[in-house]
Amino acid sequence: MEIIMSVLVMGLIAIVLAVALIISSKKFHVPENPLIEKVASLLPQANCGACGFPGCAGFAKAFVEDPVPGMRCPVASAEVLKAIGEVLGTSIGESKPMRAVLHCNGKHSNVQTVSEYIGVRSCAAANMLYTGDKACMYSCIGYGDCAKVCLFGAITMEDGIAVFDAEKCTGCGLCVKECPRKVISLVQKRISNVRVTCSSHDKGPVVRKNCKVGCIACGKCVKVCPKEAITVAPGSNLARIDDAKCILCGKCVAECDVMHAIAADGRVVKAVEIIIKKKQQEKEEKQKAAAMAAGAANNPAASDTKEVKS
Amino acid sequence: MLSSLLSIFIVSALFNNVIMAQFLGTCPFLGVSKSIETASGMGLAVIFVMVLANIITYFVQLLLIWAKVEYLQTLAFILVIAGLVQMVEIMLKKLSPGLYKSLGIYLPLITTNCAVLGIALLAIKKNYGLLESVVYSFATAFGFLVAIVLFAGIREQMKYSTIPRSMEGFPIALITTGIMALAFMGFAGFKLPF
């Protein structure tokens, strides 16, 4: 009896409320632009907030009702933007998809470990305590704050540094904001990417002491770059590649053969291999030519090399 | 009669302030207190919802007593309050788009505002009649309005002061709330002249 009564009472309350809600929603209906819903359904629905609006619905509303030039969803692919453009009957300017890259190669095998960090496994916390466990105070700390914040599973932590999956990365920039060391930046999503994998502003000898693969600002890459895309800002002790100017020729990667502080991924890797091979061949030819010249002069080879050395 | 209503009003608005003494409804208190304008909007919405909820839950309670299923009180009240807030939201959207926009996500949050449910339950527990429970809920919501507007004023001032980095945002807001609660404790021990 009691069970039946409770079901009846709750059902009654629910029905009355439902009827009241239906009536009020009909009576107080606010006509909304139907386009907003359409645009919202096309958006990625990640609600990451990278556009600056509270979620995808907020962006869709602002985008339909009063679009500001340059406003876009940084996560949506080109096709999605095209589809939204078709819905709105306008073309959305070409958007450059971006991706995040790490400017550090401070794997545990490359960088000196100077201390043991015991505490919250968070880069932000470790950063407050001087340097984390690595010697370089500009390095990726490697506790994965960026991986935690990534909504798309594009970041994995491997051997103490963040590894970015170029396919999965949408360029929303949440990791860039999260990183306490600021070693992540956004670059254009192209077939490949060439970047300086170091953020250290220390002077050359200090970098060498701390890390096997740091940029010592020797400037060789600056000279070899055909597009003047690489600069070493005065006082920064660090080479930086202007992503907009870079044509992905890979010459700088081959040139940086002492510290290996410039890295490439994607198709450039093959180009780099070819350049390195060519360089080796040239070197060998030069050596041969030098040996030939030495032979022609009829001097004993041993004394010749001694002369050169002295 | 009048003096007892007045004492209910003063006691529940100031002495037993819903936030500062009972710690109910802290979520909207911290969430919507960034500016006085939205804070007062939230306060008014809470007054509206709380009074309406108390009137309706009074009759729901009568229904429950009649059906001898008082143990469904919490469940039924939550259902009623949730439906009510939905209705308020729909109405506000039409009647006052400005307020609707400034309240944003916090209006649906009133649904889960424990203050609304708590006051409805407390009014039943205290055996208040309809008029008393209306005064009680109005006074409590008024206390919420006072507290949130005062707090928003302090927070607006705090924007211009230098706060240690680790204290910025919610930590300093919670500490401020604590100090305000201490100030409200000063009311404890007062004896009403009537």
Contact B94 A28 (CB under 8 A): yes
Interface membership of B94 toward A (CB under 8 Å): yes
CA A20 – CA B93 distance, rounded (Å): 16
Q: Which of B60, B86, B104 comes nearest A13 by C-beta? A: B60
Contact A2 B87 (CB under 8 A): no
Contact A5 B105 (CB under 8 A): no
Structure token digits, residue B113: 């505002």
**B194 confidence band (pLDDT: 50, 70, 90):** low
Across the range A94-122, mean pLDDT stands at: 84
Contact A21 B86 (CB under 8 A): yes
Chain A nearest CA to B159, separation (Å):
21
CA A250 – CA A185 distance, rounded (Å): 20
Pairwise pLDDT comparison (A153 vs A297), residue with the higher score: A153
Comparing CA positions, the residue from B116, B5, B124 lying closest to residue B50 is B116
CB contacts, 8 Å: B97 with chain A = 30
**CB neighbour class for A116 (10 Å; exposed up to 12, middle 13-18, buried from 19):** exposed
Whether A135 has a pLDDT exceeding 60, the answer reads yes
pLDDT in tens, B81-129: 888 888 878 887 888 777 777 666 666 767 667 888 899 999 999 888 8
- For residue A25, what is the nearest residue in chain B, using CA coordinates? B90
Taking only residues 131 to 190 of chain B, the set having a beta carbon closer than 8 angstroms to any beta carbon of chain A reads none
Range A34-95 has CATH code 3.40.50.300: no
pLDDT at residue B137 in the model = 92
Examine the predicted complex and report whether its ipTM is higher than 0.95. no
Whether A304 has a pLDDT exceeding 60, the answer reads no
Q: Which of A2, A12, A28 comes nearest B91 by C-beta? A: A28
Across the range A240-262, mean pLDDT stands at: 87
CA B11 – CA B7 distance, rounded (Å): 6
User: Which listed CATH number (3.30.70.20, 3.20.20.80, 2.40.10.220, 3.40.50.300) goes with A190-284?
Assistant: 3.30.70.20
Q: Are the C-beta atoms of A253 and A261 separated by less than 8 Å?
A: no
DSSP-derived secondary structure letter, B68: T
Across the range A204-228, mean pLDDT stands at: 88
Tell me phi and psi for residue B98, to 5 degrees: -60, -50
Rg (CA), chain B: 17
Whether A104 has a pLDDT exceeding 70, the answer reads yes
Interface membership of B90 toward A (CB under 8 Å): yes
pLDDT at residue A310 in the model = 46
Query: Residue A217, SS3?
Result: coil
Chain B nearest CA to A248, separation (Å):
41
Structure token digits, residue A46: 């990640």
CB contacts, 8 Å: A12 with chain B = 63
Q: Which fold would CATH assign to domain A98-189?
A: Alpha-Beta Plaits (3.30.70)
Interface of A with B (CB under 8 A): 2, 5-6, 8-10, 12-14, 17-18, 20-21, 24-25, 28-30, 54
Q: Are the C-beta atoms of A188 and A93 separated by less than 8 Å?
A: no
B82-B86-B89-B91 Cα dihedral, nearest 10 degrees: -130
Mean of the per-residue pLDDT values of chain A: 83
pLDDT in tens, B149-190: 999 999 988 888 888 888 888 899 999 999 999 988 888 777
Q: Which of B75, B95, B104 comes nearest A10 by C-beta? A: B75
Mean of the per-residue pLDDT values of chain B: 85
Residues comprising chain A, all counted: 310
Chain A nearest CA to B115, separation (Å):
21
Whether A256 has a pLDDT exceeding 80, the answer reads yes
Across the range A159-173, mean pLDDT stands at: 87
Q: Which helix (H) or strand (E) holds A262?
A: strand A262-266
Q: Are the C-beta atoms of B99 and B41 separated by less than 8 Å?
A: yes
Domain extents in chain B: 2-189
Pairwise pLDDT comparison (A194 vs A39), residue with the higher score: A194
Q: Are the C-beta atoms of B107 and B100 separated by less than 8 Å?
A: yes
pLDDT in tens, A13-29: 899 999 999 998 888 88
pLDDT at residue B189 in the model = 75
Query: Which single residue is written with the structure tokens 């010459």?
Result: A251
pLDDT at residue B146 in the model = 92
Chain A nearest CA to B86, separation (Å):
8
Mutate to test the interface with A, among B60, B69, B88, B167 (most CBs of A within 10 A): B69
Domain extents in chain A: 34-95, 98-189, 190-284
Whether A126 has a pLDDT exceeding 70, the answer reads yes
DSSP H helix total and E strand total for chain A: 12, 8
Query: Which single residue is written with the structure tokens 């096709």?
Result: A79
pLDDT at residue A155 in the model = 92
Contact A5 B67 (CB under 8 A): yes
Query: Residue A100, SS3?
Result: strand
